[in-house]
Amino acid sequence: MTGLLFGGARTIELDGDIVQVTERSRTSTISLADVVAVPAVRRTLLGATLSIATGSEESIILRGANRRDALAFSNHVEKAWVEYNISALEREADRFSSLRAAVTALARPTRYPAACAIQVILDEARSFDDAVLSKLRMEAIGSEAASLVAEVRTFVAEPRRIRNTAIETFVIAELERWKDFFDTIESKPLTHEQRLSVVVDEDATLVLAGAGSGKTSVITAKAAYLAKAGIRSPEEILLLAFAKNAAEEMSERVQARSGVALAARTFHALAYDIIGLVEGSKPALARHAADDALFIDTIKQILKDLVRSDPDVAKAIIKWFAQFFVEPKTEWDFKTKHDFYTHIEKLDLRTLQGEKVKSYEELQIANWLYENGIEYEYEPVYEHKVASAGRRDYCPDFSLVESGIYIEHFGVRRQTMPDGSERLTTAPFVDREQYLAGIDWKRETHSAYETTLIETYSYERQEGRLLSSLADKLAPHVTAKPRPPAEIFDRVVEMKQVDNFSQLLGTFLRKYKGGAYSVADCETKAKKLNLGRRAAAFLSVFEPVFEEYEKRLEGRIDFEDMILRAARYAETGRFHSPFRHILVDEFQDISQSRGKLVKALKAQHQDARVFAVGDDWQSIFRFAGSDIHLMRHFGDEFGGSFDGESGLHRTVDLGRTFRSIDQIAFAARAFVLKNPAQIEKQIVPAGKATEPAIKFVEVTANEGEKKLGELLASISEMSSTSERTSVLLLGRYRFLEPDLPDLQKRFPLLRLSFKTIHASKGLEADHVVLLKADGGRTGFPSETVDDPLLSLVSPEIEAFENAEERRVMYVAMTRARRTLTILASKSRPSSFVTELRKDLAAEREKSGTATHVVHECGECGGRLVDVTGEDGRRWYRCEHVRHCGNFLPACPACEVALPRREDGSPEVSCKCGAKYPTCPECRDGWLRERSGRYGRFLSCVRFPACAGKSKGRATSPTTTE
């Protein structure tokens, strides 16, 4: 075809599928695949213009052509273009038909549209679209074919929307299709959430199963559903549990409920089988592999042997116990006295000599003296009677027995001022001027009585020279006689400090092995987390302990070795996994090594799925290696990918509890969610309480048995004679177990049992009694469990204080169906008890049912506890009795309640109606009349702790009716 050359082509020819264009001396070719529309012919003054639109910006234009020739050529090109496009689609007819069927099936899916399944279709659709469909011209292939192509191209353009719609369609239909199964698989029909968790079948599905929400029913129904629906054969389903008895129970339950023979296994049994299949035989297990107590005893024995056999290691071990056994926080790490005192009391700062001290720095000094054989007394009464109005007997921090030297440790640090001068500062909550005046008074006292005073300072520890400076200052006065490491270690054993440390070492060792860490990894992380010299001291002990532990395995393997070896065989393909559905019970207890094994098994098959059931609120087995990070980041760890989005997973919240009534369920939920890292879940309680379901019983020294007996008697009186009421006694530690046979004889209407909180998981009772919820290092919360050093062998830091122990408390609370009673020390309750009481009091105050008044100490912010004196009178003293010393009498009028100051009022008021003039010096006191040298006067009831006074005479307390 030829035309005139006016800014366009001179000739255009069609040769098969190619359009050849000549412009002056240049010739180019264009495939019919690039033609986007039917050629157009337009009449002009000089004849006709032929236009052929292409995918590029410039179209082919032939001007000045004969109109008849142009129309004929246009028809010729159109026919060839249509045939080309139809032929391109027909050549891939089978592929297109298969792809379109897969896309069309998403409108009514017969299997859950999991990411792994639909990604395969999407990959094929995109590949086909790039190669064929995107090059087809809809006008060329006709409306019917164009409609079919559009279905596939819409999926390519909007895969996420289409998959989400397919999921919704499938779930609705599947729930209806299996309704009878869900109604009958368990003794009671499954809830909607339980049914949903069964039919949902994402690459990774996490079922959040709160306490008493029926998780066992879900995992049983899931296994049966997969087999009965023909989704998997029994040998393709791997059902994993953590304990042997749990695995056996699940196997029996699936068989009994559904008739499907499916053997559940523990992680260890699976790993052992994998090793046996790959290696041809199974290696011998370490003697302590299945015995936690023997494992800890092994660690203790290694410590003992190293102290006696390796001087360098012995020095490191003794240094740990003497200087770093507790977390080295000082007054400067806290904003209030109450927070500091609470921390100190929780640590139970006990020296190697056995006495309790008031600060970490005092502990360091005392232990250094003990290590070096320097006999001392802690806080002795000063050898001279010091007369000073309002002061108690002067008690220096330390006195050295042989030399008579006194040591005072002053909590001051140095601060450089803008002008370059230096001044001493105190902790945020300490009155600096008053504290410095106290230092001056002590110096003057020693000078006046010519006694020798050695001073140490907080800034010396801050500068890393507290003990070396002490040694230099004492050198002219005493001769050190260092005790042998074995003697010091025996002392540590006697004080039972080795038990806690061995537990910490054991937990660290399991997580260290399970996470495949190195000491260098830990050192790097310690620097990043600013754990300082304490981490270095710990690692200097851990490294030789770990090396000795590995030697003592003598070719045997422990459970960490077992899991990691099996995971390695799965990763490298030496073990060929038949499993395409991996169901994991109690997923919150999974460790890094177990997680690695699950991921290795899943990776062997493109369509393999992980179905995990667990409750991060009940993750309490950190000491056994569990790592909550894997559950909190479930999608990142086990999820699939689709359309460029990774970490895809589905979470189902079971929500309902079949166990606890509202007051217990909601209080437990609020308590555990104080840690923002916990996954939030909704709770539907089992019922509504008609009276307070959570109660607190205050226990004074040596009356624990009496209070427990009174409580059980009260429960027994309310019990039915037809069916014994179940009462579960819980203790944070095994040694808290009471004389159960005796209690059972005394209360035959009750079905009594005792468990540690860890051993109680999965159990429930009508009434739960939590024993000895006291503060202290071996109290509840336990300090060892949440030691910051464990962050060195965890992918994620549990920054929230007492994170694991908070979950332990949640487990304890949610064992109860009807009532939870907490027995706690009146003077030293657990911080958890204080928190719960405060939260419950606030809730009851809102509802107008408040029954317990908590008085705050005006001196430190702690709690004022009522106590009865030897004379029978009631007093109120601060819970931090060793540190604060705030002490108030009960109201003189009623002799029961505590008068309190109202904001802006010149008087304190008692609930009995009596009023007294406020003390001008302190927040809590009030003035009462006393006799003095110059007659009657008013002074604070807190005298001599407070010297507040007022002139004048007192009158009888005023009262209001």
Structure tokens at 613: 């059931």
Residue type, 569: Y
Amino acid of residue 210? G
Q: Flag whether 213 is marked binding.
A: yes
Token pair 């317990």: residue: 852
Provide the terminal-to-terminal Cα distance of the chain, rounded to the nearest Å. 118
Which tokens belong to 893? Answer: 């009028």
Q: Using alpha carbons only, what angle is made at residue 904 by residues 898 and 909, rounded to the nearest 5 degrees? A: 20
Strand partners, 901: 908
DSSP class of residue 321? Answer: I
914 bridge partner residues = 959
What pairing do the DSSP bridges indicate for beta strands 765-770 and 725-731? parallel
Which backbone phi and psi does 943 adopt, to 5 degrees?
Answer: -55, 135
The answer to whether the beta carbons of residues 193 and 655 sit under 8 Å apart is yes
* DSSP structure class, residue 773: -
Neighbours of 496 (CB within 10 A): 10
212 labeled binding residue: yes
690 is in an annotated binding site: no
Classified as helix, coil or strand, 783 is coil
Whether omega for the bond prior to residue 781 falls within 30 degrees of 0, making it cis, is: yes
Q: From CA 732, how far away is CA 778, in angstroms rounded?
A: 9
Beta bridge partners of 376: 400
> What residue type is assigned to position 404 of the chain?
G
Q: Is residue 271 a contact partner of residue 565, using CB atoms and an 8 Å limit?
A: yes
Residue 584 burial class via C-beta count within 10 angstroms: exposed 0-12, middle 13-18, buried 19 and up: buried
Using CB atoms within 10 A of its CB, is residue 509 exposed (0-12), middle (13-18) or buried (19+)? buried
How far is Cα 195 from Cα 444, in angstroms, rounded to an integer? Answer: 79
Q: Note whether 730 and 769 are within 8 A (CB).
A: yes
- Measured between alpha carbons, how far is 840 from 833 in angstroms, rounded to an integer? 10
Q: Is 210 part of any known ligand binding site?
A: yes
Q: Where are the alpha helices (DSSP H) in 336-484?
A: 337-347, 360-371, 432-449, 458-462, 466-474
According to the annotation, is 209 in a ligand binding site? Answer: yes
Distance set, CA 25 to CA 5, 28, 58, 388 (Å): 12, 10, 19, 118
CA distance 390 to 944: 5
Q: Which amino acid is at 814?
A: T
Three-state SS at 442: helix
The CA distance from 146 to 282, in Å, is 62
| Helical residues (DSSP H) of 464-496, grouped into ranges | 466-474, 485-494
3-state secondary structure of 901: strand
| DSSP track, 516-576 | T--HHHHHHHHHHTT-HHHHHHHHHHHHHHHHHHHHHHTT-B-HHHHHHHHHHHHHTTSS-
215 marked as part of a ligand binding site: yes
Task: Report the C-alpha gap between 251 and 262 in whole angstroms.
Answer: 6
Question: From CA 866, how far away is CA 80, in angstroms rounded?
Answer: 102
Separation between Cα atoms, residue 694 and residue 825, nearest integer Å: 17
Q: How many CB atoms lie within 10 A of CB 825?
A: 21
Annotated binding site: 209-216
Report the binding-site residues for ATP. 209-216
